[in-house]
Amino acid sequence: MLINSTHQVLFIGRLGQNPELRYTRKQEAVCRFNVAVPVEGSEKPEWHKVVVWGKQAELCQVFLIKGVQLFVHGRRTLREHQLDTGEIKKYEEVTADKVGFINF
């Protein structure tokens, strides 16, 4: 499920791999992971790159494991990255405000 309002998004999906936690030079925690969101009428999910900052990033790394169902609320951000070849690669990620477990 994906709800999109301007740049705000809310979706429910499954964690594709264990989260990756790193720290910036200023020792701020940043956690990155991918979430697979089912698409109605398709066998393939839609993948979303998610980034979480601060204390919540540290908690995500501790409590989230591959396959867990979760919700993500945040905003879409377009990123650019220059490759060694000089080519510019663009990708979209969600900067999460809230991440939580879904229990059914």
Q: What is the pLDDT of residues 32-88, one digit of tens each?
A: 999 999 999 999 999 999 999 999 999 999 999 999 999 999 999 888 888 899 898
Q: What is the pLDDT of residues 74-84, one digit of tens each?
A: 999 888 888 89
Question: Could you give the domains of the chain?
Answer: 2-75 (2.40.50.140)
Total-model pTM:
0.84
Whole-number CA gyration radius for the chain: 14
**8 Å CB contact between 36 and 13:** yes
